[in-house]
Chain A
Amino acid sequence: MAVVTNAAPVDLDAASGEPLHPAASEVLAAAHERGWGDPRRLHRAGRDARLLLDNAREVVAGALGVRRDEVSFTSSGTEAVHRGLLGLLEGRADGRDATLLSAVEHSAVGHAADWWARRSGVPGAVVPVDRHGRVSPDDVVDLVAPGTGVVALQAANHEVGTVQPVAEVAARLDGRVPLFVDACAAAGRRALPRGWDAAAASAHKWGGPPGVGVLLVRKGARWASPFPGDDRVDERTSGFENVPAALAAAAALQAVVTERDEVATRQHALVARLREGVTVIPDVDVVGDPDDRLPHLVTFSFLYVDGEALVHELERHGFGVASGSACTSSTFEPSHVLAAMGALTHGNARVSLHRDTGADDVERLLAVLPGVVADLRARVGM
């Protein structure tokens, strides 16, 4: 029997959501005091809100190394993905309507491409990935067809951490087809790759408030809004701007980028320890690129283990983790990312570290995992 510890619960699912960064909490409170007005109005409250919104845009641009006029705030990372990808298709005047996505894009990208395919009647295509979940630039270029209107490639994978060759793909495409980059998993944690025509990020994944996405549209890119327009400050988005949240998101991003070298180095080493440590358990599939990956997350699967039971058992031992196993999904389909990689999908856990996750937390997880897995296997006679 595994020993159940009485320590305080440790959340190891930072990739699903981070608590507010301390830098963001302070700014959020202050911005609610000053930034509640309508930033389109010319009166005092409006001017204050507009000032804060412009400030947020400037800070995000600086943190990501892009132009201020390339930054828009949306109501979520998903909305930024939809507007980014579909806006590049909408902006085309040549009728090239087909999408070309990597097989491991986030479902937000996949849903947007499906929606477009239903409306246009033009089916999309998918670029396969290798065992680590990475596309080959050759494959991307080979799969570009005369009707391809956009290529989508994530900066890094949200489930397994593998970094994609975005800059190389962009260089090979050489502007012939626009490139959309979903940077939601990577933004703040790694420098934004170059070569995108539009890109998306999500504030709650770097310690900003939920409900803030960042849409980037490269200056000069052919982009047009795929959705109804609005008469707001920013023609790329719609709806009343959440100025306080945008400013808090910007403050968190700035703080995260400032502390990135230290945090990423520490997290990369902790994840390396996790990757190595779980291999003492027999029949484990540790997936994703071991080195060229996001610093803070790792995914592994245990043969003969039920993914849902694994999540519950780890919760009982004080650890919150995510799973890509079919039994833990609303659709009862296994993770399309793991499937595309040929990775084992059952008995799956994704562990992702917060900025304050320590070596003691990692060691404690490694200490309980062998017993948890052995118990779950024993339940099914394995």
Chain B
Amino acid sequence: MSTPEPGADLRELDCRGRLCPLPVIDLARALPEVAVGDVVGVVADDAAARVDVPAWCRMRGQEYLGEDAADDGVPRYLVRRLT
């Protein structure tokens, strides 16, 4: 597991307050707007996102990099677009 380089292009996706499956739907919609190789950070307080973002990456062939936190402490799930 690798974390993105400091200063790397990271687009944050605000899914605060959105319940499952909405954060994963937001992620699927946002991915085409991200360049291949870039990272998107899904900021979600919904408990299911912790499991469903990595599961989505596995099913859709994208790379799950791990979890950190947004500036306000809300969990942020990092996904690198591979395809």
Interface residues of A (CB under 8 A from B): 283, 285, 301, 303-307, 325-327, 332-334, 338-339, 342-347, 380-382
Contact = CB atoms under 8 A, between A and B. Distances in A.
Given A342-B54, A344-B59, A334 B21 contact: no
Given A332-B47, A334-B47, A334-B51, A325 B20 contact: yes
B48 A305 contact: no
Given A285-B59, A345-B55, 7 more contacts: A303-B59, A303-B60, A304-B21, A327-B20, A342-B51, A342-B54, A344-B51
B23 to A, nearest CB: 9
A382 B51 CA distance: 20
A162 B46 CA distance: 28
Nearest to A331: B47
A182 B44 CA distance: 35
Contacts of A347: 21
Q: Which 9 A-B pairs have the closest CB atoms?
A: A346-B21, A344-B55, A346-B20, A334-B48, A339-B51, A326-B48, A345-B48, A345-B51, A304-B25
12 contacts: A283-B59, A301-B55, A306-B20, A333-B47, A334-B51, A342-B58, A344-B51, A345-B48, A346-B24, A346-B48, A381-B25, A381-B29
B25 A380 contact: yes
Given A342-B58, A344-B55, A304 B28 contact: yes
B21 to A, nearest CB: 4
Interface in B27-65: 28-29, 46-48, 50-52, 54-56, 58-60
A380 B58 CA distance: 22
Contact of B24 (A303, A342, A343): A303
B51 A305 contact: no
Nearest to B51: A339
Given A303-B24, A334-B20, A346 B52 contact: yes
B19 interface: yes
A343 B55 contact: yes
Contact of B21 (A285, A305, A339, A342): A305
B20 A382 contact: no
A306 B24 CA distance: 11
